[in-house]
Amino acid sequence: MTVLSLKGSGWTIGTGKPLAIIAGLNVLESKELALTVGAELKAICADLGLPYVFKASFDKANRSSIHSYRGPGLEEGLKILKAVKAELDVPICTDLHTAEQAEPVAAIADIVQIPAFLCRQTDLVVATARATAKAGGIVQVKKAQFIAPWDTKNIVTKIGEAADVGVILCERGSSFGYNNLVVDMLGIPEMQKLGCPVTIDATHAVQLPGADPRTGGASTGGRRDGVAIIAKAAVAAGADGVFLEFHTDPDAALCDGPSCLPVSGARALLAQLKALHAVVQD
């Protein structure tokens, strides 16, 4: 399997490397919150010897309701991410939604993420691959909820035909009946067969799409207690990294609160995941 690294940061992912951490906020709410959560996670990862990338979205375009909070938008969001990158001295991961966003996002983000629902959109995939390659970053692709793990081969091939850029595949669950997702841990080694490191998005894997009782189904529900279970199971199955979302007060989060974890519990969880990863690597 390919080992990928981000130049100048020491962040690596792949076989034989430490468990890679991509973690932060679901969506940007303020610069202050981003710095608070990012600083805490950076310190924890430094103590544990885990390579860390700060993640937050500037826009959550795929919302159940037009009234749902989406974030500060491209211009303000990238400004915040640039500040977090500079002040905390950490690499950045964020997602994008249109081909036009590729170049400005790749100029700031070290890992540019293609959302699951958009992973087959050719114009977006090609633009992201080319812009990220030009900027020297890595592309992370969320596996869509409606495709099999081995079918991500087409996405990897498409990216490779567009540009010479490193690719991470991210498992985030598959649609399983109504308002539910399930994670097939066998999909992790299947995607690794394509030569790509694989991460687990344990946060979004516990979503209950369109099933938040607080809004009568106008937003996505979640099972917060399941995040640690899925993260640990995925690392035991051989995942190369974890993708996690935290908040200082998850119940007050402006987006996907039922699925994110309190940052106060990050150290204990990451320590467990590191220990599991060490067992798997032996």
Report which secondary-structure segment, H or E, holds 134.
Answer: helix 122-135
Bridge-based pairing of strands 52-57 and 92-95 is: parallel
**Beta-bridge partner residues of 198:** 169
User: Is the backbone of residue 256 left (phi > 0), alpha (psi -120 to 50) or beta?
Assistant: left
74-88 vs 31-48: helix crossing angle, rounded to 10: 40
- Per annotation, catalytic residue among 17, 42, 60, 142: 60
Q: From residue 106, how far is each of 40, 63, 109 by CA, in Å?
A: 25, 24, 5
60 catalytic? Reply is: yes
What are 205's two structure tokens?
Answer: 């894997």
| Contact call for residues 14 and 3 (beta carbons, < 8 A) | yes
Specify whether 26 is catalytic. yes
Name the 3-class secondary structure at 80.
Answer: helix
Query: Does the active-site annotation cover 134?
Result: no
Answer yes or no: are the C-beta atoms of 226 and 206 closer than 8 Å: yes
Q: Please pick, among 26, 42, 85, 142, the residue that the annotation labels catalytic.
A: 26
Instruction: Give which of 196, 175, 176, 182 is closest to 238, Cα–Cα.
Output: 196
**Measured between alpha carbons, how far is 61 from 66 in angstroms, rounded to an integer?**
10
* Residues that are catalytic: 26, 60, 256
